[in-house]
Chain A
Amino acid sequence: MRGGIGFWAGLCFTLLISAFLILPIFVSVIAGVTANQFIGISSGFTTRWLLDVWANYGGTVLLSLQIAFATLAITLMLGVPAAYVLARHAGVTARLIEEALVMPVAVPGLATALGLILAYGAVGGLRSSWFFILIGHVIFCLPFMLRAVLAVLLAIDLKRLEEAARACGATWAQRFFGVIVPNIRGGILAGSLMVVTLSLGEFNMTLLLHTPFTRTLPVGLADAYTALRTEMASAYTLIFFALIVPLLSGMQWVVSRMDQPGGSR
């Protein structure tokens, strides 16, 4: 296998594609810490743009995190039980409900946002509250949680495991939290990473749902770009990376720590 011309050709091709994909990120990150973008790296490095971004858009970062974790909490509370019920029922109704829950993925975010504004925009103080964005993010992210968890639920022998737990005398709550949830951890983690990533980066829907007081990170980023402050936008992107990479790795680490036999009670 190794050493053949095919191997080297394949390796070169893979590296080229990877470089093509990574280059914009790299350039953007460098631009964010370059003193003068028109002169280039020779102008030296600075943290000025980063500080400027934090001063102007720091609030958007915090709001985005707040919305992302609230979305995660809600999609966990709705998505995991929903997937469990769908996995236990094989009928047509269950499949129709599954399709309906997954539908928002197929609808453009702008259309969903418009629908939300038309339907609920006039309800109390909802329109000006960050909850309005949260609702949109939950609608958009729920299918991803549902599908990730459902896939794992269908892969394990759910029915048999539950019957075995029942035979041991376990109540519904005991077997759900003691047997089912620990055995679908992988799916819950995959869904959670997806939801946090999607929520943090969600732009389409948030563009319509936000107000000047509820700007999220991607909306602020678009604002920075449209104001032609490329170095600011680049620094902004850098902050986004600095935020999301440790966050996602951290979540994975926590779950891998939990993955010890006998650990669950």
Chain B
Amino acid sequence: MSIAISLRNCGKTWPGGARGLLPIDMEITAGETLVLLGPSGCGKTTLLRLIAGLELPDDGGTVLFDGKEVTRLPIERRNVGMVFQSYALFPNMDVAANIGYGLRVRGIPKNETQKRVAEMLEMMRLTDFRHRRIDALSGGQRQRVALARAIAPRPQVLLLDEPLSALDARLRDQLRQEIDALLRALGITAIYVTHDQSEAMALGDRICVMEAGRIAQIGSGRDLYHNPANEFVAHFIGDANKNVVINGEVILRPEDLRLRPNPNGAFIITRVTFLGPVLRVMVRHDDGQELRADVPDDPSLQPGTQVEVILRKSSLMAAER
């Protein structure tokens, strides 16, 4: 069971007057995974907490679950599942008791609880750890327990607040794939907060880029990458060159540039880094502007070489301000 979520005019002003979130409207369709992406302090976690029911929006804001107003309903009565950055597992309970907690407090019969906990343990490959104490688990295992605890009561919405940011890079990749597969399998409406653009690209049906308490742009990863609404989005999603000499006011992705050695070229290569799939080349224009180009490996591109910069077609992105 998954539901649609609507936010109407939801803003958040903290006691003391700081604006955590400027009033926004947002529609999240049933079963979709929406990623809230942005730097720290952009309001993404505040937005998630408004949807969760952990914060109240400023007067005039409403939160609707499938058209029903839930603005003043606290989180414990919204039937949402939540995964926290710090896991927030209960240290006084073992793995199985943590996973079953949401079922027990809802008064679900014991045999049904046991059955569902067993399913969750199986699904998360935690069966061998069911009697472990939380402090005897690795970071990845803890996060899997947190996920299992959140989805065991079969919530209508799954909310994930930077669930992978406390893990090391390799584990993060692996768990990201697992979460992706899980969200697809459950078909649940999910909202996922992160500051990591590759996580956002991998998981989000749509990505909502946030900046300073407002929505900068909502769209698919492809939209955001190829048609960024502004410079902030362009720089947050992938690398971008900006304000370059060619064509005046445009934003260029490094992979859209090609370099050709030419003694009369307007650019000179300042640095070359071999990254494997591509050669990352920094070039400087006569007037001092710098550009980054990711090009196929080419031994003739050496620091000090004069080059001309060629733009691949269809790569121009209009930059609105």
A and B found bound together: yes
Residues of chain A touching chain B, judged by Cβ–Cβ distance below 8 Å, are 156-157, 160-161, 163-171, 174, 178-179, 182-183, 185, 261-265
In the bound complex, CA of A261 to CA of B104 (Å): 16
Q: How near does chain A come to B114, taking the closest CB pair, in angstroms?
A: 13
Instruction: Kindly identify which residue among A160, A170, A182, A261 contacts B105, using a CB–CB cutoff of 8 Å.
Output: A170
Contact check, B93 vs A157: say whether CB atoms are below 8 A apart. no
Q: Which B residue sits closest to A182, measured CB to CB?
A: B92
In the bound complex, CA of A156 to CA of B91 (Å): 10
CB-CB under 8 A from B89, the residues of chain A are 164
Q: How near does chain B come to A158, taking the closest CB pair, in angstroms?
A: 11
Contact check, B102 vs A169: say whether CB atoms are below 8 A apart. yes
In the bound complex, CA of A225 to CA of B132 (Å): 56
Contact check, A167 vs B91: say whether CB atoms are below 8 A apart. no
In the bound complex, CA of A98 to CA of B300 (Å): 73
Q: How near does chain B come to A88, taking the closest CB pair, in angstroms?
A: 14
In the bound complex, CA of A222 to CA of B49 (Å): 61
Additional 9 contacts, C-beta under 8 A, given A161-B90, A178-B105: A157-B88, A163-B88, A166-B75, A167-B150, A170-B76, A179-B90, A179-B92, A261-B93, A262-B94
Tell whether A168 pairs with B105 under 8 Å between CB atoms, given A161-B90, A163-B75. yes
User: Could you write out 5 A-B pairs with CB less than 8 Å apart?
Assistant: A161-B90, A166-B76, A169-B153, A262-B131, A265-B97
Contact check, A168 vs B102: say whether CB atoms are below 8 A apart. yes
What 1/0 mask marks residues of chain B from 71 to 92 whose CB sits below 8 Å from any chain A CB? 0001111011110101011111
Q: Which A residue sits closest to B80, measured CB to CB?
A: A167
CB-CB under 8 A from A165, the residues of chain B are 90, 101, 105
Residues of chain B touching chain A, judged by Cβ–Cβ distance below 8 Å, are 52, 54, 74-77, 79-82, 84, 86, 88-94, 96-97, 101-102, 104-106, 131-133, 149-150, 153, 159
Contact check, B153 vs A160: say whether CB atoms are below 8 A apart. no
Contact check, B74 vs A166: say whether CB atoms are below 8 A apart. yes
In the bound complex, CA of A215 to CA of B249 (Å): 92
CB-CB under 8 A from B105, the residues of chain A are 165, 168-171, 174, 178
In the bound complex, CA of A164 to CA of B54 (Å): 10
Contact check, B92 vs A168: say whether CB atoms are below 8 A apart. no
In the bound complex, CA of A157 to CA of B87 (Å): 11
Tell whether A167 pairs with B90 under 8 Å between CB atoms, given A261-B131, A261-B133, A262-B97. no
Q: Which B residue sits closest to A159, measured CB to CB?
A: B88
Tell whether A157 pairs with B86 under 8 Å between CB atoms, given A168-B153, A179-B92, A264-B92. yes
Q: Which A residue sits closest to B89, measured CB to CB?
A: A164
In the bound complex, CA of A178 to CA of B92 (Å): 9
Contact check, B52 vs A167: say whether CB atoms are below 8 A apart. yes
CB-CB under 8 A from A261, the residues of chain B are 92-94, 97, 131-133
Instruction: Kindly identify which residue among B84, B91, B106 contacts A169, using a CB–CB cutoff of 8 Å.
Output: B106
Q: How near does chain B come to A89, taking the closest CB pair, in angstroms?
A: 13
Contact check, B90 vs A183: say whether CB atoms are below 8 A apart. yes
Q: How near does chain A come to B174, taking the closest CB pair, in angstroms?
A: 24
Contact check, A167 vs B86: say whether CB atoms are below 8 A apart. no
